[in-house]
Structure 1
Amino acid sequence: MIHSKRHGEILRLLKEEGTISIASLAGRLGVSLETVRRDVKPLGNDGSILKMHGAISLPSLAGEPPFERRMRENADTKRIIARMVAATIRDGESVMLDTGTTTSFLARELLGHRRLTVVTNSSDIARTLATVNGNKVYMAGGELRSDSGAAFGVSAIEFVSRFSVNHAIISIGAVDAVAGLMDYNLEEAEFARMVLSRGQRSLVITDHSKFGRQGLVQVCGLDGFSELATDQQPPRDIAAALAESGARLSIAVGEAGF
């Protein structure tokens, strides 16, 4: 049900972007934060949208949408996070990356690096970094998913368990103050958990839209990694839980104003 012309514009923007923050929506519509919150309330009440901490999405996106669509969601934000993280990785170091849109952006930001050793289950990341700048790329085997082109399962987990790397990096679908890191698929969660265990530095990269979401499967608690890189300060409950766990919080600032 569309209640007004502005409601229709909100739904149009959501169809284009998948998820959008309240602050960004206010700027796009040229209205105040209070007006946007008032506008989205009836859309949430009738089930037209899904409300999260500081953001809204379409109900169909409560589970993860297809990989290519997710690459377009919050793309500028993910690029800014990836650029910040890439600057912390030095030439000649080893990096393990799971499949995900933010890790795919990170792979592209690493194209300026040399002599990296990369371990991944993502064919997208492997194609991006293999055969350039003296890199060595090791890809986990197994059946490739038609959506993401990534390998999962026992063979993929066993393969990456043989490596110890400088930087073990995952992207994540949901961050909750109590449940910790969560994902929407059992095999992806199991693989991500193994990746985090293989690095001298264990890093989670995610944009702010994942804060306050509830996934299906827990990857680990907030004490299961050493650092979280994102683009905005997390909600108060998540920030407090991170501080209590001892995880370092890094917030990227870039051209988009994050």
Structure 2
Amino acid sequence: MLSKRHADILDILEAEGSATISALAGRLGVSLETVRRDVKPLTEAGRVLRIHGAVGLAGRIGEAPFEKRMRENAGPKRTIARAVAATIRDGESVMLDTGTTTSFVARELMNHRRLTVVTNSSDIARTLATVNGNRVYMAGGELRSDSGAAFGKSALDFIAQFAVHHAIISAGAVDEGGVMDYALEEAEFARLVLSRGERRVVVTDHTKFGRRGLISVAGWDEVGEIVTDRPPDAAISRSLSAAGARLTLAP
């Protein structure tokens, strides 16, 4: 029989994957010894694992960073993805860069038919390949261990061959100047993706607003539309309007 505190521990681990004993004690307002006592039946039942002064949800220990990021703000990302997928018709072509929000877009496209998909993400390729008559083209090159995505010259040369209906990128940071990222190769790839689409879309949740990345991906005059879950601040909104970029809030 699980107590409410057992359930609370499992809820925290479900959201975060792992937590230290001291962090759990602070969150639950109990002593370290109480947490250790509560954790014991959960470990005996195989629900959680003990790891160096912390506990982790069984099945989450050792998971890739990309999988952890997929759980962050999953609700808003799924809402954004659903709104974008609703604007894409069967038989159209879509280019997607690697990112958690674009991976959610791929999942929302699973009921579409006869799509042509171009991506550098192995997650997106696996999601949409071999179903509903889709054709999936994946950029080649060495796959990153953290995201399972391909970058570099071979990936850029590959996607430069395509012209698609919808070019969709995720964002590492968004400010009044446009979209930014923290890694040069990812910024270069996203920039080229945007240039290959009749429709150029940035998908991002509100947590990226006001951040400033290291490398510019695109100014707002190079973006046709941004789809997000909450309105950005006034400075970003003014920049969007001045550049003629459309702001779409996912319902």
- Tell me the TM-score range normalised by the shorter chain: 0.7 to 0.9
- The 3-state SS of whatever aligns with 1:223 is helix
Q: How many residues align?
A: 194
Aligned amino acid, residue 207 of structure 1? D
| Structure 1 residue 89 displacement after superposition | 0.1
1:224-243 alignment, distance < 5 Å: 224-243=222-241
Distance 1:105 1:17 in 2: 19
CA RMSD between the two structures: 1.8
In 2, are the aligned partners of 1:17 and 1:74 still within 8 Å (CA)? no
In 1, are the aligned partners of 2:15 and 2:71 still within 8 Å (CA)? no
Aligned amino acid, residue 211 of structure 1? F
- The 3-state SS of whatever aligns with 1:111 is coil
Q: Paired residue for 1:115?
A: 114
Q: Paired residue for 2:184?
A: 186
- Unpaired runs of 5+ in structure 1? 1-12, 19-64, 254-258
In 2, are the aligned partners of 1:141 and 1:151 still within 8 Å (CA)? yes
Give the structure-2-normalised TM-score: 0.75
Q: Paired residue for 1:139?
A: 138
1:30-49 alignment, distance < 5 Å: none
Aligned amino acid, residue 99 of structure 1? T
Q: Paired residue for 1:202?
A: 200
User: 1:124/1:143 Cα in 2 relative to 1: closer, same or farther (>3 Å)?
Assistant: same
| Structure 1 residue 222 displacement after superposition | 1.3
Offset from partner CA, 1:6-31 (integer Å, 9 cap, x none): xxxxxxx8x9569xxxxxxxxxxxxx
- The 3-state SS of whatever aligns with 1:220 is strand
Distance 2:68 2:239 in 1: 31
Distance 2:89 2:212 in 1: 34
Distance 2:241 2:68 in 1: 33
- The 3-state SS of whatever aligns with 2:180 is strand
- The 3-state SS of whatever aligns with 2:148 is coil
Larger Rg: 2
Which segment is superposed worse, 219-228 or 86-95? 219-228
Equivalent residue for 2:246, pick from 245, 248, 252: 248
Give the structure-1-normalised TM-score: 0.73
% identity of equivalent residues: 71
Q: Which runs of 4+ in 1 moved over 4 A?
A: 15-18
